[in-house]
Amino acid sequence: MANTTVPKAQRSFEKVNEIVRKYEAKESMLIPILQEVQEEYRYLPEEILTYIATALDISPATVYGVATFYAQFSLNPKGKYVINVCDGTACHVRGSSPILEAIRRKVGLAAGKITTDDLGFTVQTVSCLGACGLAPAVVINDKVYGQVTEEAIELIIDQLKQKEAEGDN
């Protein structure tokens, strides 16, 4: 590939520039800009936040303030598979907590951590997906799984792990 010779840092800022330009460097577009940057990197690297602040001519504190306010943004790298366990009321009363625990056990997360060390999985809860008719629900990347049981979710994770193992070979 042609761009393999471009230094990594330079390449990343090019992408950020493109996103900032698309939104005409408007301060009111800060949230969509951060959303697109996060989509690109799967998190918001600190140096990019500062860079965006300069590009938009606002203080880094403003950018940091917005990035930390909204639950969607993450300042730490996320796993390749982001598992969101819905913990809305309907899912909660139909047993989302044991499912969350089962997932954490299955991917081998230590207490207090949400992402596995190999950046394979991130496991977190989300307030409500609006798929309450299918409670309890789990979303892995963009795919929604409904009426999940502990056994089912373990099976799904096994499949993902297998897919990864095959991909590596």
Partner 1 sequence: MVKLRSTEDLKAFREKCKQELEKSKLRILVCAGTGCVASGSLEIYEEFKRLLTEKGLNVDCVLDEEDNCNNNKSFKVAKSGCHGFCAQGPLVRIEPEDILYTHVKLDDVEEIINETIVGGRIVERLIYENPTTGEKFAKEHEIPFYKKQQRRVLANCGVIDPESLEEYVANGGYEGLESALAKTPQEVIDDIISAGLRGRGGGGFPTGRKLQFGKNAKGDKKYVICNGDEGDPGAFMDRSVMEGDPHRVIEGMAISAYAIGADEGYIYVRAEYPMAIKRLRIAIQEAIDAGIIGDSVLGSDFSFHVHIKEGAGAFVCGEETALIASIEGKRGMPNPKPPYPTDSGLWGCPTVINNVETLANIPIILSKGPEYFRGVGVGNSPGTKTFALTGQVANTGLIEVPMGTTLREIVFDIGGGILSGNKYKAVQIGGPSGGCLTEDHLDINLDFDSLQSVGAMIGSGGLVVMDEKTCIVEVARFFMSFTQFESCGKCVLCREGTKRMLEILEDIVGGKGTPEHLELLEELGATISDGSLCGLGKTAPNPVLTTLKYFKDEYLRHVENKVCDAKVCSALKVYTIDPELCKGCTRCKRVCPVGAISGKVKEAHTIDVLTCIKCGACVETCAFNAIKEA
Q: What is the Cα–Cα distance from 138 to 148, expressed in whole angstroms?
A: 7
42 binds partner 1 (CB under 8 A): no
By CB under 8 A, name the one of 135, 140, 156, 160 that touches partner 1.
Answer: 135
Nearer to partner 1 (CB atom), residue 25 or residue 120: 25
115 DSSP 8-state letter = B
- Scanning 9-17, 32-40, 111-119, 152-160 for contacts with partner 1 by CB under 8 A, the matching segment is 32-40
**CB of 109: closest distance to partner 1 in angstroms?**
18
Q: Which stretch binds partner 1 (CB under 8 A): 9-17, 31-39, 46-54, 114-122?
A: 31-39
The residue count for the chain:
169
d(CA 3, CA 167): 23
- 3-class secondary-structure state, position 148: coil
| Structure letter (DSSP) for residue 43 | S
CB 37 within 8 A of CB 22: no
What is the smallest separation between the CB atom of 62 and partner 1, expressed in angstroms?
Answer: 8
State in angstroms the smallest separation of the CB of 63 from partner 1. 10
Q: Who contacts 141 (Cβ-Cβ below 8 Å, separation ≥6)?
A: 81, 82
Number of residues near partner 1 (by CB under 8 A)? 40
46-75: contacts with partner 1 (CB under 8 A): 65-66, 69-73
What are the Cα distances from residue 1, in Å, to 4, 5, 90, 104?
6, 9, 49, 38
Residues making contact with partner 1 (CB under 8 A): 26-32, 34-35, 65-66, 69-73, 87-90, 92-94, 126-135, 137, 142-147
